[in-house]
Amino acid sequence: MICESHPPQDGVYRIWVPGIPAPYPKKDVGIIGYGGKCRACGKPKTQRLLPVDKDYRTRKDPITGKTQKWDKGYKRRWMALVKSTVSSYMSRHCLDPFPAKHPVAMGTLFFMPQAKGNKLPYPSQKPDLDNLRYSIWNALGKDSKSKKRADGIMIDNGTLYYDDSQIVWTLSPDGMLWASDRFPSGVLITACSADRVSDRIIEAITMGAEDDV
């Protein structure tokens, strides 16, 4: 079944993470003024840029009609769930993360919940695929606060790889579909060493180029 984790086969990891996929918790920039306003233009004399955390959902209050914040931290909770699920998979099968700078091929197939009134055939709406992917990629690398030991070795080598810059190829299946009774909400993560696919890809491209000559 596709919505299940499977032991590594032919060097390919297949990991199922149940839940509602969420995008990466990006921070917007807000501007705060200090020191009074300019008499000529009315703008603050000095400005300071501050990060604005948008890790929350919004909804309208049925009584007042005002927009409210709720479910704060849901994006970070999703990333923590992905990290812990993949970490358990790696430990269960005695696997180590891909070492730093080793090329990785990876696929992410998302199953998104569909609202009852939504008639779109595919989830061609926000959150977009890039942001969903980046949330997974970022969750499986080393922690940004990781430190080195006295001998220069990193304490944290990541969960699946050291850094998401190692992802050089997209594996199939990859994309977004609606969740259903058969396929619940979640993401299927497929990963392997890019060495396993690069030779076949290069051969296929070369053959195609020769046919065009």
Cα separation, 112 vs 157, in Å, equals: 30
- Are 157 and 164 spatial neighbours (Cβ–Cβ below 8 Å)? no
3-state DSSP percent of the chain in helix, strand and coil, to 5: 25, 30, 45
* Residue ranges of E strands in 19-166: 27-37, 44-53, 57-60, 67-70, 104-112
Sign, CA dihedral 78-133-193-185, equals: positive
pLDDT of residue 209: 44
Q: Which residues contact 131 (CB under 8 A, 6 or more apart)?
A: 23, 24, 26
- Are 161 and 97 spatial neighbours (Cβ–Cβ below 8 Å)? yes
pLDDT(119) > 60: yes
CA proximity to 189, closest of 112, 80, 96, 86: 86
Cα separation, 190 vs 151, in Å, equals: 34
Helix axes 129-139, 74-92, angle to 10 degrees: 50
> pLDDT tens digits for 151-194?
555 556 789 999 999 999 988 889 999 999 888 999 999 999 98
| Full set of structural domains in the chain with CATH | 6-25+73-212 (3.30.1330.70), 26-69 (no CATH)
> pLDDT tens digits for 52-110?
667 777 777 777 777 777 778 889 999 999 999 999 999 999 999 999 899 999 999 99
Prediction pTM value: 0.78
> pLDDT tens digits for 8-59?
888 899 999 999 999 998 766 666 555 566 666 766 666 666 666 677 777 7
Residue 24 structure tokens: 């990466």
Q: Which residues contact 172 (CB under 8 A, 6 or more apart)?
A: 107, 190
